[in-house]
Structure 1
Amino acid sequence: MTLVIENKKQIMTGRDYPHPYLHGNFAPIHQVQPLTPCASVGNIPEELAGGEYVRNGGNPLSNEDPGRDAHWFDGDGMLSGVAFRRKDNGSIQPEFVNQYILTDTFISTVSTPSLRLPILPSIATLVNPASSRLTIILRVFRTIFLVVLSLLPGSEQTIKKISVANTGILSHDGRALATCESGPPIRISLPGLETIGWFDGRRAEGEAPAVEDTKGESEVFGGDGMLSFMKEWTTAHPRVDPTAKDLILFHSTFLAPFVHYSIIPNSRNSSVEKPRLVNAAVPGITSAKMMHDFGVSFTHTVIMDLPLSLDPRNLAKNLPVVSYDSNGRSRFGVFPRWNPEAIRWFETNPCCIFHTANTWDEITPNHCAPGRETTAVNMLACRLTSASLVFSAGDVAAPVPIPTSNPKYPPEDEQCRLYYYRFSLENELDTITHQFALASIPFEFPSLRDDASMGAARYIYGCSVSGSSFGAALGRAVKIDSLVKVDVTALIAQAKQDPPTPITGCVDNRTVSEILASRDHWDPIKIFKLPPGIYAQECRFVPRNNGVSEDDGWILTYVFDESHLDALGNAGPNTKSELWIIDAKEMREVVCKVKLPQRVPYGFHGSWFSEEEILNQRDFESTRSLPMTRGKTSDVGSPKTIETILMQLWVLTRRWMLNLVG
């Protein structure tokens, strides 16, 4: 049965054009439905049978106020998936499903129809230099007020976590976990995408308590104490060790020491409790930062302390809560995986990095002691030379950067490229021996073959834009028209033969058009260019069984044909997306197109879940559900007693307060 949550009108945010990230195929969709069979054109690879591709993204529910601020990073989490069901006759039937993630804030919004604004303040409000301190303070206090009100009688949903869980999704230890910076992961059931509950590092709500759950609050995310909820805030990009199966993650907060760090083992079916590290402080960070991702190799972790702050205390300095210092410095903290106290800091030019692609060790024999030691840590990342994307994604004019006065950090052109760092650990000098771009083309949303991560993987996949950059201009949005495969091994080897200029240099200086014109079978960069007017999203790799090379397999991505938009660029109720399955070796052939029953808005990050992962999910006792009725806060009943009269008065007062702050 299809569930439709009431349609919301198109947002116009005080401008004479629609908000670019709430328009066209960026516009939210409010129709959700269970697994629904889909038609397909082409051959579905056998390796997909029984598995499911799932992608997360922000999909705001409350859009009632036509003048509100909005940002692409805002929005309630919505999962969109295609499951490849095995049929009795041996064929594969793709089935589409999409569901809102039933977070505390989403359920509270659904049960409070008087709310015209989302419960959380928009990132656009926080980053906009034109936002007054009073506006920001009022928005923050509104959120606090709504959270406190939810704890009092008459509320359909208590808001214990403020996360919208709208960014990523991954698999670990028998659980599918949706992620976002502002809270812990939340568990999802596959393949139907039902919400089970918040994961605290030991178990998820909705699961039966296990023996190991008696360890106490210090063994869960956040620990104890009045401000422990901040230490629950978990990166949207945890990493899973493909060999040890450990889950590695960090927690970024507004208070010193600003970053905590956890390692959660793969404990299922283990007779011995494996080592755990929970809420360990990472020393050396002196302020709150917008810290989205990090790097993890088999032996080391890299924390990125970049000059992009996310700090309410900025208000006291007459700065926006989110602020980028173009004269600041980028610091990379490298430490052994299990020992953050041994962190070493490497400093270089200011930049922004939202996504790392891969991190791996260089290991050499130790002649002084038995065994081998890590002599360097390598990292590939999507490096932006400014924070313009943070502003443009909210349709906010980026502040004009102050010209650098530091000759050590010369100014750089606006760009977002796949970048290579090498952090040397061979002596006490904290030296970045290599730092340069591998290719000059725009590159974001990186991914790789999962079982090759944390090692010296050869191929990195990502997204590019052929006619612009990832820092779009006001009134426009970034749309992905090219999918890229980069042979990073070949380009790094090329750089050793002909070293590019440190920091500003680039190994391959070709444009997207020049790369597309190449007919070299061994070209280190291959691009799948989508037809005009058709745009893609982040892609994920699925390997071929018994493949002969690392890139032997397919990449999956949602695509949308914008010729289906109306004359004003609006996506009507009958517009639909497709899931394309593309041969990953040559990056030229679409082997199958799955026709979806509705469109999938341009979103964030996804994962491929294998048949084994779906079949071996942990048991759970319950899932979350929406209230049966909307807006009903209490049934005071009869006869009229003092208690029921007081309750009626409280219900009326509560409704009045909600209408006032809605």
Structure 2
Amino acid sequence: MTDASALPAEGAFFLRGNYAPVVDELTEYNLPVHGVIPPEIDGWYLRNGPNPRQATAHWFAGDGMIHGVRIEDGAAKWYRNRWVRTDSFVEAFPLYNDDGSRNLRAAVANTHVVSHAGKTLALVESSFPYQISNELETLGAYDFGGKLTNSMTAHPKICPATGEMHFFGYGSLFEPYVTYHRVAEDGELVLNRPVDVKAHTMMHDFAMTADHVIFMDLPIVFDMEMAASGSGDMPYRWSDSYGARFGVLRRDQPDAAIRWFDIEPCYIFHVANAFDDGNSIVLQAARYPELWRNDGGFGEQAMLWEWRIDLASGTVRERQLDDRAIEFPRIDDRLAGLPARYSVSVGDAELVRHDLSTGEASTHSFGAGVSGEAVFVPAAGPADESRGWYLSYVYDPTRDGSDLVILDASDFGGEPVATIALPQRVPFGFHGNWINR
């Protein structure tokens, strides 16, 4: 297998500039800090993303690599980056078994990293999660003691009230195409139920409120001809005939029928938040008007939209919240499923914080630098979105290097409170989390 150092410098966007993979797995201690790290910040900042060892045809296909910084006692104790060494990373594994079922141990594990019930999991939506250690070493595929028999979304939701983790799996070529799962606070998988969708669509994310989960059945549909072509492009295409709808399931009635609500055709990779409001559900997300009509590229841009699902009338109202292009919206995770005031997204060389209660937006520009997804680290005490910090890897093209930047949530547009210099650049990637000590 060709290693990352042999990848071409030119070609697809995800093999150039700061999208290009890094070669070395490093461990560096006592990182230099400009400014002062608040002593309350104590834990690990981990972020996952594709870092291919050989040329791939799509950004989503690169081998997963986690970049992590350990912060303790006001110091950046270490930086590490490690490939997620899945079974298929070590040796060739077919994507499908002889009977046509997915080989769930074949994985790139390149999309997200989450912590629940004492286990840290690297995720990609097509496969089993892989457990990693606090030092970012891969411990192996994790199937919840044999109870998980299909894939796990890269966007599970952890309820701040119950500690439960909700997720779904999709990707089977046979019905049921989607299955909903629930894991108790202690880590036991306690629920598996099918979700009634009519085809194998690309279901990347979903939403959770205090009382409901909401599935998004959207018109990017599996294309068998594309999958069999050997092109390496994503085997999904936009469908004008499939339609678009949200499916609502009460959390206290997990075996009940799912109520479906038609919406205008669109695609959603990432939900910012959802919450109950009387007899309605409010869902906020980054919306694409369409995607992947002719290829798996990213010619369209997403903008922040809101949907109000009226459970009494069976109708949905949709509205655009802003006209700027954004992606990767995040909130204070302590408010997942509850009304959150702020959503912070990645814009054009800046972070954009939307005030969801007023519709106003503020920005933090990094000048020459370009930011990745921002994660909120709360200060101690009751949930207060103005008391805490936003952490993000920021790439500076003028020196071809990266920093971990810490912003004060009470002064979003102000100077960072601390900037941690990293020993190598961190390629643009997908999602990460703060893990408390």
Q: Secondary structure at 1:73's aligned position in 2?
A: helix
* Structure 1 residue aligned with 2:148: 221
- TM-score between the two structures when normalised by the length of structure 2: 0.91
* Structure 2 residue aligned with 1:353: 268
Q: Is the 8 A contact 1:263 1:276 kept in 2?
A: yes
User: Is it true that 1:107 corresponds to 2:90 in the alignment?
Assistant: yes
Q: Distance in 2 between matches of 1:605 and 1:84?
A: 19
* Structure 2 residue aligned with 1:464: 347
Q: Is the 8 A contact 2:3 2:53 kept in 1?
A: no
| Shift of residue 553, structure 1, vs aligned partner | 1.5
Deviations 1:361-392 (A, max 9, x none): 124xxxxxxxxxxx221111110011159946
Question: Out of 338, 343, 355, which is 1:487 matched to?
Answer: 355
Q: Is the 8 A contact 1:289 1:311 kept in 2?
A: no
Deviations 1:526-545 (A, max 9, x none): 1011203x111001011122
Deviations 1:578-609 (A, max 9, x none): 11111222322211110111111110000000
Aligned residue type for 2:285: A
Q: Secondary structure at 2:25's aligned position in 1?
A: strand
Question: Out of 61, 67, 77, which is 1:74 matched to?
Answer: 61
Question: Out of 8, 11, 29, which is 1:36 matched to?
Answer: 29
* Structure 2 residue aligned with 1:98: 81
Q: Distance in 2 between matches of 1:195 and 1:315?
A: 29
User: Is it true that 1:609 corresponds to 2:435 in the alignment?
Assistant: yes
Deviations 1:511-566 (A, max 9, x none): xxxxxxxxxxxxx211011203x1110010111224783222111111111123xx
Q: Secondary structure at 1:262's aligned position in 2?
A: strand
Structure exhibiting the larger radius of gyration computed from Cα positions: 1
Q: Distance in 1 between matches of 2:225 and 2:260?
A: 25
Calculate percent identity across the aligned residue pairs.
32
* Structure 2 residue aligned with 1:580: 405
Q: 1:46 to 1:391 in 2, by over 3 A?
A: farther
User: Is it true that 1:325 corresponds to 2:258 in the alignment?
Assistant: no
Q: 1:21 to 1:6 in 2, by over 3 A?
A: closer
* Structure 1 residue aligned with 2:285: 381
Q: Is the 8 A contact 1:32 1:97 kept in 2?
A: yes
After superposition, where does 1:157-556 map in structure 2 within 5 Å?
Answer: 161-190=105-134, 192-202=135-145, 220-222=147-149, 232-252=150-170, 253-267=172-186, 276-278=190-192, 280-283=193-196, 285-312=197-224, 321-326=235-240, 328-337=242-251, 338-363=253-278, 375-388=279-292, 391=295, 393=297, 415-426=301-312, 429-432=313-316, 434-465=317-348, 481-491=349-359, 524-532=360-368, 534-546=369-381, 549-556=384-391
Q: Distance in 1 between matches of 2:189 and 2:180?
A: 14
Q: Distance in 1 between matches of 2:249 and 2:240?
A: 26
* Structure 2 residue aligned with 1:653: none
Deviations 1:494-525 (A, max 9, x none): xxxxxxxxxxxxxxxxxxxxxxxxxxxxxx21
Deviations 1:198-257 (A, max 9, x none): 22124xxxxxxxxxxxxxx5xx111xxxxxxxxx21111011111101110111122112
Q: Is the 8 A contact 1:28 1:59 kept in 2?
A: yes
Q: Is the 8 A contact 1:336 1:342 kept in 2?
A: no
Q: 1:160 to 1:439 in 2, by over 3 A?
A: closer
Q: What residue ranges of structure 1 are gaps of 5+ in the alignment?
A: 64-68, 110-118, 120-141, 149-158, 203-216, 223-231, 269-273, 364-374, 399-413, 466-480, 492-523, 565-574, 612-662
| Shift of residue 186, structure 1, vs aligned partner | 1.3
Tell which deviates more after alignment, 20-29 or 328-337. Answer: 328-337
Q: Is the 8 A contact 1:188 1:195 kept in 2?
A: yes
Q: Is the 8 A contact 1:85 1:95 kept in 2?
A: no
Q: Distance in 2 between matches of 1:438 and 1:308?
A: 24
The total of aligned residue pairs comes to 426
Q: Secondary structure at 2:401's aligned position in 1?
A: coil
| Shift of residue 335, structure 1, vs aligned partner | 1.0
| Shift of residue 6, structure 1, vs aligned partner | 5.3
Larger strand percent? 2
Deviations 1:311-345 (A, max 9, x none): 427779xx983110245421111111242532111
- List 4+ stretches of structure 1 deviating above 3 A: 313-316, 388-394, 546-549
Q: 1:582 to 1:389 in 2, by over 3 A?
A: farther
CA RMSD of aligned residues (A): 2.6
Q: What residue ranges of structure 2 are gaps of 5+ in the alignment?
A: none
User: Is it true that 1:61 corresponds to 2:53 in the alignment?
Assistant: yes
Q: Secondary structure at 2:248's aligned position in 1?
A: strand
Q: Is the 8 A contact 2:218 2:266 kept in 1?
A: yes
Q: 1:459 to 1:389 in 2, by over 3 A?
A: farther
Q: 1:35 to 1:240 in 2, by over 3 A?
A: farther
Q: 1:304 to 1:547 in 2, by over 3 A?
A: closer
Deviations 1:249-287 (A, max 9, x none): 11112211211111010126xxxxx88212x1112x111
Larger helix percent? 1
Q: Distance in 1 between matches of 2:26 and 2:140?
A: 20
Q: Distance in 2 between matches of 1:546 and 1:300?
A: 27
Q: Secondary structure at 1:309's aligned position in 2?
A: strand
